[in-house]
Amino acid sequence: MTLSLYSQTLSSDSLVCVPRTAVENALTLKSKYDIVVIELQTTQELVLFQSEKLDLQSEQLANYSIALQNKDNIILEKDNIIVLRDDQIKSLKRERRAKFWNGILFGGAGGATLIAVLFVI
């Protein structure tokens, strides 16, 4: 049975005759399109979230780098303080040794001079 040309024209203002397979294909295509649109929106949101996450991690990494640099500076300052204290300790030890030997030499010489004066008198 063939369809005549008149069977696919409007029989009234609100009725159109279309083959059933064409309607099924159109509805299938429309539902696939709707699914693809939803998947696209979901993927775009996921990309946006991942981008925000990456930005936050970059900020956090920058903060960690600054904190690490500050810690390194503190360690360097403390190392310099230790070196300075070691130099002060060495200097004080030298000073104390010099005073000790000066005390023995001058104290001994002063004592020997006093004994020599007492013998002379």
Domain count, the chain: 1
Q: Which domain holds residue 42?
A: 19-91
> Is residue 65 in some structural domain?
yes
Q: pTM for the full model?
A: 0.49
> Is residue 10 in some structural domain?
no
Region 109-121: mean pLDDT is 65
In degrees and rounded to multiples of 5, residue 48 shows phi and psi of -60, -45
> Is residue 53 in some structural domain?
yes
CA distances from 21 to 1, 7, 47, 61, 95 (A): 17, 16, 38, 59, 109
> Is residue 113 in some structural domain?
no
In degrees and rounded to multiples of 5, residue 3 shows phi and psi of -90, 135
> Is residue 24 in some structural domain?
yes
> Is residue 111 in some structural domain?
no
pLDDT digits (tens, 9 = 90+) for 76-97: 999 999 999 999 999 999 888 8
> Is residue 33 in some structural domain?
yes
